[in-house]
Amino acid sequence: MTLPSPRLGERALFPHLEARAYLAHAAISPASRCVQEATAAVLDSYARRGGGALLEWLPVRERLRQRLARLIHCRTEDLALVSNTTQGVLDIALCFPWNPGDRVLTFQGEFPANVTPWKQAGVEVSFLPLPRVRNPEILSGLEAELERKVRLVAVSAVQFQTGLTMPLDEIGALCRQYGAALFVDAIQAAGVVPLDVQAAGVDFLACGSHKWLMGTEGAGFLYVSPEWVERLRPRVAGWLSHEDPLAFLFPGGAGLDYERPIRKRADFLEPGTGNLLGHVALEASLALIEQLGVPAIHAHVGAYLDALEQGLERRGFASLRSARRSGILSVLPPSGWSLADLHRGLARRGVVCSTPDGLLRFAPHWPNHRDEVPFVLAAVDEILGERL
């Protein structure tokens, strides 16, 4: 059966989605029919052919790299397919050529995935204040810290709590000016906010696939800029990190040799068997995002959130949405209202959202239609009216 083409605001590819308004794409996205059918085809192939199916599906990995390279504007050879954002952060934290006294600078409110690995690397981690307000001042405080010597700045492209899109171009320029590397956690941006690692001077970027990329858990990617590949120390290399790692498994190939050199490409960070199902799912979901275009998705989601934000503010909610827009609208409940009660009440009425760190977070994506907004606001009215 031929599946329908994706259209902004249409749910035809999500016929089984139960929620009337699914607004939790900043947590986990539902699987489209394209993702379901792609992964089912892989499982069917393995059920019929066992290991013989592997070579049939390996080309998916290269197609996936090509799509990811177009998504963030880099070369395919600068990408490694990793299991999730955290793995990408860990890979760089453990392989970075640290020197005694090096310092990592990050921001208060960062998701723990972009904090814990740096601490485990044994370097000093400093936190730059990032108030939960609409338009916090970022650059002056960052430059003051960079003047005190920072080896690496670790920042989320979009802050998971408030949806603040960080000014990566300006941050990248400051990092280059003061000789600091720039690491970006892109999981709340990729797929909904345009990204260009070359224009922003990003050195490293990690992202998982189960949020705005609309894949499944357990698949992601890591970008390493060309100037850093040879400087990394391969502390997490595995059997697939060598040059020509599979040659000893096939007739006529080279013999078993543990001393073959580690590849000087980003994919040396693919040390073992990858998540083929996750890669197939991500390749299928990225094909839909490519057809729509990230700028168009960003504008579509922004219009949805404009309407929702206005309605919620009229009902006494306090918005934390910044002028630097993303796919997230986070609000504080009206005085006297429990966040948990509001969240449960919305869920009972078919509105799925999330509650990161004391906030009510709404995160629509391309399948959400603006016609949902009156339904969401009516659900809010019902909840607020229960006390009248």
134 with 257, same domain? yes
pTM of the predicted model as reported, rounded to 2 decimal places: 0.96
169 with 71, same domain? yes
User: Which domain does 346 fall in, by range?
Assistant: 21-30+294-385
**Helix, strand, or coil here: 126?**
strand
231-261 confidence digits (pLDDT tens) = 999 999 999 999 998 888 887 767 888 999 9
The CA distance from 44 to 41, in Å, is: 5
Residues β-bridged to residue 22: 352
| Arithmetic mean of pLDDT, 14-32 | 98
Q: Which helix H or strand E contains 33, and what residues bound it?
A: helix 33-49
313 with 189, same domain? no
Give the chain's domain count: 2
129 with 222, same domain? yes
Would you say residue 342 has pLDDT above 70?
yes
282 with 146, same domain? yes
- Spell out the SS3 assignment of 228-265: HHCCCCCCCCCHHHECCCCHHHCCCCCCCCCCCCECCC
Q: E strands, 135-275, where?
A: 152-156, 181-185, 204-208, 220-224
Tell whether 333 is covered by a domain. yes
Res 95: pLDDT: 98
- Could you tell me the strand order of the sheet in which 360-362 lies? 318-319, 329-332, 360-362
> Encoding tokens for residue 25?
């794409």
92-131 confidence digits (pLDDT tens) = 999 999 999 999 999 999 999 999 999 999 999 999 999 8
Q: How far does Cα 43 stand from its chain's mean position?
A: 26
